């Protein structure tokens, strides 16, 4: 049983972008603040900080989750992927490239969150319909694009991945 | 938008949870998925001095087929049940309503029992639990108490749960073989709370009408031995007779309108094919 007193620093261990990490946090440090401040992973963006905008969405144990809606101490041992970990090489991932091609971002503030929910959707439903994609991206706010490019980018990646799977 | 400091404890057993709940030296709140509680903490609407985290307790992670229904334990997320129902399609009402709860990204953390414990008047899970006449199993150090859904919700965000208790599991009965149903909801945006939601069950000898969002708790009405035309007539008079709440998001007149228009569609959905 773990007990963290209010205000006390406590070490937590978790895997972030395939690296084992131990760092101090307080009981009321959100996972969002932990990633940005304690681990300097500022690709995860702090928007509304109460679960509405989705800019802070990351992948936790394979599921897209709002990092502002959890405290770091709840994620002891979790496997987390942030936007910094989406590509294993220095190149952008296929999804990131598709976002670029389809102008699925303008200011880019919301993009890390959209990438996280897109990966979650594609892992569950490799060939989503446009309606499914629209339903999924309705959880996150984008004020630049009007969503059309985001929907196209996700749709294109779903086709590319399915084709390469069939060929491979 | 930062939560006040609090003690955080992640117990290993339900016994330890109960012991912490009994400790009167500080105000404790249970946290599982935290999809409602965390924003409340951030906005300081809630300021407990201790959070008791259920997510690490192995025995609270189960979905079990029990009798003629399913039992869902405290740390089961809404998306976990959604995915489980794809493989075990024995409760079509739950399969229909789950996608209406917020968004997938919220359901990935939000729990079934947490939604029941929060008791929002327009939430989908309390509505389904009341419609199906499900049960809540509340655990305290003194033992487990079984609470009928209709006795559990006593007001907006108010339940029959004692401070020493927490919800260990909830039980959703399956539909009878010859029961059909319809579910309709209106909200302003995808993922928003319902302004009004309607669940209609067409059982062998009666109709069950359940409404979310019209009162402080989900409301359930029955009409026995009636055909669809009589059910529609009942719905129309019901919408005029009962008190319907108003708030800045919708007047009571609009909610009455939604009761009948959504109710009509739900009756049509509930017609056997």
Residues of chain A with CATH 3.10.20.30: 10-83
Map A51-85 to HEC letters: CCCCCCEEEECCEEEEHHHCEHHHHCCCEEECHHH
**B202 and B221 share one domain:** yes
pLDDT for B272 equals 79
Q: pLDDT tier at B90 (50, 70, 90 boundaries)?
A: confident
Q: Which residues of B touch A59 (CB under 8 A)?
A: none
Would you say residue A166 has pLDDT above 90?
Answer: no
Q: Identify whether B2 is part of a domain.
A: no
Domain final position from B154, B173, B192: B173
B189 and B264 part of one domain: yes
Checking ipTM against 0.85, whether it exceeds it is yes
What does the pLDDT read at residue B24? 86
| pTM reported for the whole predicted model | 0.96
The residue out of B173, B189, B213 marking a domain boundary is B173
3-state secondary structure of A145: coil
CB contact under 8 A, A1 and B12: yes
Whether B81 and B133 map to the same domain: the answer is yes
B66 with B140, same domain? Answer: yes
Residue B1 belongs to a domain: no
Are B87 and B194 within one domain?
A: no
Cα-based distances in Å from A1 to A85, A101, A151, B62: 31, 49, 44, 20
Region B95-102 average pLDDT: 97
The CATH number assigned to the domain holding B233 equals 3.30.390.50
Mean pLDDT of B177-205: 95
Q: What is the CATH number of the domain that holds B33?
A: 3.30.43
Same domain? For B36 and B91 the reply is no
Q: Is the pLDDT of residue B198 over 90?
A: yes
Chain B residues inside the 8 Å CB shell of A140: 105
Q: Which residue spans of chain A are classified as CATH 1.10.150.120?
A: 94-167
Q: What's the rounded Cα separation, in Å, for the pair B30 and B170?
A: 16
Q: What range defines the domain where residue B101 resides?
A: 58-173
Could you tell me which residues of chain A have a Cβ less than 8 Å from any Cβ in chain B?
1-7, 26-28, 30, 48-51, 54, 57, 63-66, 68-71, 73-74, 76, 117, 120-121, 135-136, 138-140
The owner of tokens 């057993």 is: B13
Question: Per-residue pLDDT tens for A42-100?
Answer: 999 999 999 999 999 999 999 999 999 999 999 999 999 999 999 999 999 999 999 99
Give the class (CATH, top level) of A10-83. Answer: alpha beta
Q: Specify whether B74 is located in the same domain as B127.
A: yes
Of B1, B31, B53, the CB nearest to A49: B1
Interface size, chain A vs chain B, as Cβ–Cβ contacts under 8 Å: 111
Q: How many domains does chain B have?
A: 3
Is residue B84 located within the same domain as residue B63? yes
Asked whether residue B80 falls in the same domain as residue B166, the answer is yes
Q: Which CATH number is B158's domain given?
A: 3.30.465.10
Residue B221 within any structural domain of the chain: yes
Instruction: Say which CATH class A94-167 falls into.
Output: mainly alpha
């Amino acid at each position: 049983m773990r007990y963290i007193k209010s205000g006390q620093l406590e070490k937590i261990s978790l895997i972030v972008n395939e690296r084992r990490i131990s760092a101090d946090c307080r009981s009321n440090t959100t996972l969002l603040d932990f990633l940005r401040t304690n681990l300097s992973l500022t690709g995860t963006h702090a928007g509304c900080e109460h679960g509405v905008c989705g800019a802070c969405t990351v992948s936790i144990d394979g599921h897209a989750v709002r990092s502002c809606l959890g405290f770091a101490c709840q994620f002891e041992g979790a496997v987390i992927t942030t936007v910094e970990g989406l590509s294993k090489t220095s190149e952008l991932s296929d999804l990131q490239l598709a976002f670029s091609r389809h102008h699925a971002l303008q200011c880019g503030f919301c993009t890390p969150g959209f990438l996280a929910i897109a990966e979650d959707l594609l892992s569950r439903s490799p060939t989503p319909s446009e309606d499914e994609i629209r339903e999924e991206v309705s959880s996150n706010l984008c004020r630049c694009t009007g969503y059309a490019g985001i929907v196209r980018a996700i749709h294109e990646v779903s086709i590319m991945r399915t084709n390469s799977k069939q060929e491979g | 938008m930062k939560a006040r400091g609090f003690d955080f404890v992640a117990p290993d057993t339900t016994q330890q949870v109960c012991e912490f709940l009994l400790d009167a030296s500080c105000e404790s709140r249970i946290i599982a998925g935290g999809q409602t509680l965390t924003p409340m903490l951030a906005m300081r609407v809630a300021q407990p001095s201790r959070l008791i985290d259920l997510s690490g307790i192995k025995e609270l992670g189960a979905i079990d087929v029990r009798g003629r229904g399913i039992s869902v334990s405290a740390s089961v997320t809404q998306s976990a049940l959604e995915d489980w129902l794809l493989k075990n399609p024995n409760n079509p009402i739950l399969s229909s309503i789950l996608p209406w709860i917020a968004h997938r990204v919220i359901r990935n953390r939000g729990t079934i029992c947490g939604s029941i414990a929060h008791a929002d008047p327009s939430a989908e899970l309390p509505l389904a639990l009341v419609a199906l006449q499900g049960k809540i199993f509340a655990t305290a150090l003194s033992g487990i108490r079984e609470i009928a859904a209709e006795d559990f919700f006593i007001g907006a965000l108010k339940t029959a749960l004692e401070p020493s208790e927490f919800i260990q599991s909830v039980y959703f009965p399956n539909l009878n073989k010859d029961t059909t149903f319809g579910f309709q909801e209106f909200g302003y945006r995808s993922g928003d709370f319902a302004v009004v939601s309607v669940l209609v069950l067409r059982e062998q000898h009666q109709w069950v009408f359940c409404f979310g969002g019209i009162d402080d708790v989900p409301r359930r009405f029955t009409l026995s031995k009636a055909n669809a035309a009589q059910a529609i007539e009942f719905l129309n008079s019901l919408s005029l007779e009962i008190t319907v709440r108003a708030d800045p998001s919708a007047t009571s007149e609009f909610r009455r309108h939604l009761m009948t228009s959504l109710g009509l569609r739900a009756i049509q959905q509930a017609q056997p094919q």
